[in-house]
A and B are shown apart, each in its own frame.
Chain A
């Protein structure tokens, strides 16, 4: 059981770092939003799942489950608002050049 916990914590760290690398590397606002919010989602879910495995079956697990669900509801709303703001302002998305 403890091995699963370690694997999930490791995945959390890995995706957290990957999200930050993506924010630095990607060209425009939409792609940067993709990298930051999505990798944050995966890393946080991994960490919360690891916490659930660590605690086993207890009232604490129910609370962590509720936190996860609230996170699943609130996180996409935040990134969606930023993206919608950019879309309404008329920011044109970056596109790959045809020669590549």
Chain B
């Protein structure tokens, strides 16, 4: 069998699996008819749209299939960080004592998807806002800047996010 054809088929199957998981989560039932319908339509949609969801050049296995149990740990860490940062932001809002700066830094993540998740996490954490993401270069608006040095700012803002994302997607 041709390599490209094999790759097309596996891309379609991966897309279909994602769609089936989403369908089961949304319907919330395990009745036979519902799952049967879900599988048929997932494969139908996957054959039409696999080339949009998964690009031809994306060949790293870890890129497409994340390690699921780490995602839950990551969600817990993210929510804890959001709460800590929100409570830190309370005096800044009430007193108005802010020192906003733009900082630039780079990320070591190689997968596109992981980079987008990192940028999203930085935006979600109160006090930091991603302005631009160009390949591995991030531009971040920091509400209470402690330093403008690229390396230290990156370490303070990225925190544990990067090392945990590396375990999920590389």
Contact = CB atoms under 8 A, between A and B. Distances in A.
A41 interface: yes
Given A15-B86, A34-B143, A95-B101, A22 B123 contact: no
B159 interface: no
Interface stretch (B36-44, B54-62, B90-98, B149-157): B90-98
Nearest to B78: A72
Given A15-B86, A26-B98, A96-B98, A35 B93 contact: yes
Nearest to B90: A18
B19 interface: no
Interface string B89-122: 1100110101111100000000000000001100
Of A38, A83, A96, which is in contact with the most chain B CB atoms at under 10 Å from its CB? Answer: A38
A38 B82 CA distance: 9
Given A25-B96, A45-B79, A59-B28, A33 B90 contact: no
Interface residues of A, number: 38
A33 B102 CA distance: 14
Given A42-B86, A45-B79, A77 B100 contact: no
A84 B141 CA distance: 11
B15 interface: no
Of B86, B120, B141, which is in contact with the most chain A CB atoms at under 10 Å from its CB? Answer: B86
B120 A76 contact: yes
Contacts of B99: 96
A48 B139 CA distance: 31
B102 A76 contact: no
Interface string A46-66: 000100000000011011001
B129 A39 contact: no
Chain A to chain B: the 7 pairs with minimum beta-carbon distance, closest first: A76-B123, A38-B126, A59-B28, A42-B86, A22-B93, A87-B131, A76-B120
15 contacts: A18-B89, A26-B93, A30-B141, A33-B129, A34-B141, A34-B143, A41-B82, A42-B82, A42-B86, A66-B26, A75-B124, A76-B120, A83-B131, A83-B141, A87-B139
Interface of B: 25-26, 28-29, 75, 78-79, 82-83, 85-86, 89-90, 93-94, 96, 98-102, 119-120, 123-127, 129-132, 139, 141, 143
Given A15-B86, A62-B28, 16 more contacts: A18-B89, A21-B94, A35-B93, A37-B123, A38-B85, A38-B125, A39-B89, A42-B86, A59-B28, A59-B29, A69-B75, A77-B120, A79-B129, A80-B123, A84-B131, A84-B132
